[in-house]
Amino acid sequence: MRNAATILIVEDDERIRGLIRTVLAGAGYVTLETGNATSALSMLASHRPDLMVLDLGLPDRDGQELLREIRSWSNVPVVVVSARGQERDKVRALDGGADDYITKPFGTEELLARIRAALRHGQRMAEGEKSVYNIGGLQVDTERRIVRVDGREVHLTQIEYKIVTLLCRNAGKVLTHDSMIREVWGPFSNCDTQLLRVNMANIRRKIEKDPAMPEYILTEIGVGYRMAEVGSADGQSCRE
Ligand code: CA
């Protein structure tokens, strides 16, 4: 099988856990599973899985609290499972160290896409920075500081360029508004989401064919932004 990664599924709802297990096993992943936080911690320590799928509503402990504890000693990529409409929980989990999230009810393709992106992101972090990012027709050359769309050079401001490279480095992964503001303007800036939105609108005008229907930088409503992985250099596409 192509995907030899081991994934720990932490979900107390047996039906959903079974569904996730079936999907992941079908895609060739090795799965481990549990329905509570206590055994999740011990399985994480003893089995060292490559990724964890974590339901935030567990019977014995708050998922957010569990996530904080995990992040104090482990860098395992975590994809959070949350219920629809709980944007605040998603944002909290992402800012608390989760890599991504899926919303119940979720589709098979969406689940696999989130997992692939989180696993790849972990690999990228281990390999270090790339100098050229190719995402569909978008090319960002960080050595020469050149951004091209379909071969045509696009001029971005310093801030716009920082936003685009940040998203490229995390392609496929959602970034919260706050985490982007921290990265782009610095941890002590008093910049707000409105300024981020204004910059995003300008970027989209420059790089998207139709800024109202973005193909590269996707909006995650109430959460943040995600760089799509359209026909990226590694030959995999995981855009829904
Ligand atoms: Ca639950």
Identify the burial level of 179 via C-beta atoms within 10 angstroms of its C-beta, where 0-12 means exposed, 13-18 middle and 19 or more buried.
Answer: middle
Backbone phi, then psi, for 152, in 5-degree steps?
Answer: -95, 130
Q: Are strands 78-83 and 100-104 parallel, antiparallel or unpaired?
A: parallel
Token duo for residue 150 = 């379909």
* For ion ligand 1, residues whose CB falls within 5 Å: 12, 55, 57
Write down the domain spans for the chain.
Answer: 6-127, 132-227
Report d(CA 134, CA 141) in Å as an integer. Answer: 9
Measuring CA to CA, how many Å separate 191 from each of 158, 159, 162, 177? 16, 12, 15, 11
Report d(CA 122, CA 129) in Å as an integer. Answer: 12
Mean pLDDT of 204-225: 95
Q: What angle do CA 127, 130, 134 make, to 5 degrees?
A: 130
Q: Name the CATH code of domain 132-227 (choices 1.10.10.10, 3.40.50.450, 1.10.3720.10, 3.30.1490.190).
A: 1.10.10.10
State which amino acid sits at residue 185: W
Superfamily of domain 6-127: Response regulator (3.40.50.2300)
Mean pLDDT of 72-92: 88
CB of 94 within 8 A of CB of 174? Answer: yes
How far apart are the CA of 121 and the centre of ligand 1, in A? 26
Q: Which of 94-98, 126-130, 195-199 has the lowest mean pLDDT?
A: 126-130
Q: What is the pLDDT of residue 231?
A: 58
How far apart are the CA of 7 and the centre of ligand 1, in A? 18
How far apart are the CA of 37 and the centre of ligand 1, in A? 11
How far apart are the CA of 172 and the centre of ligand 1, in A? 25
With cut-offs at 50, 70 and 90, classify the pLDDT of residue 237.
Answer: very low
How far apart are the CA of 140 and the centre of ligand 1, in A? 40
Q: In whole angstroms, how large is the CA radius of gyration of the chain?
A: 18
How far apart are the CA of 27 and the centre of ligand 1, in A? 24
How far apart are the CA of 55 and the centre of ligand 1, in A? 6
**Mean per-residue pLDDT of the chain:** 90
Structure-model confidence comparison of residues 230 and 234, the more confident one: 230
Measuring CA to CA, how many Å separate 169 from each of 5, 70, 166? 22, 24, 5
132-227 matches 6-127 in CATH topology: no
> Averaging pLDDT over each range in 72-76, 92-96, 146-150, 230-234, which range is the top one?
146-150
How far apart are the CA of 217 and the centre of ligand 1, in A? 31
CB of 119 within 8 A of CB of 50? Answer: yes
Report d(CA 112, CA 119) in Å as an integer. Answer: 10
Q: What is the pLDDT of residue 190?
A: 80
CB of 127 within 8 A of CB of 36? Answer: no
Report d(CA 117, CA 212) in Å as an integer. Answer: 25
Q: Is the pLDDT of residue 81 over 70?
A: yes
Q: Is the pLDDT of residue 154 over 80?
A: yes
How far apart are the CA of 83 and the centre of ligand 1, in A? 9
Q: Note the pLDDT tens digit of each residue in 99-138.
A: 999 998 899 999 999 999 999 887 777 777 778 999 999 9
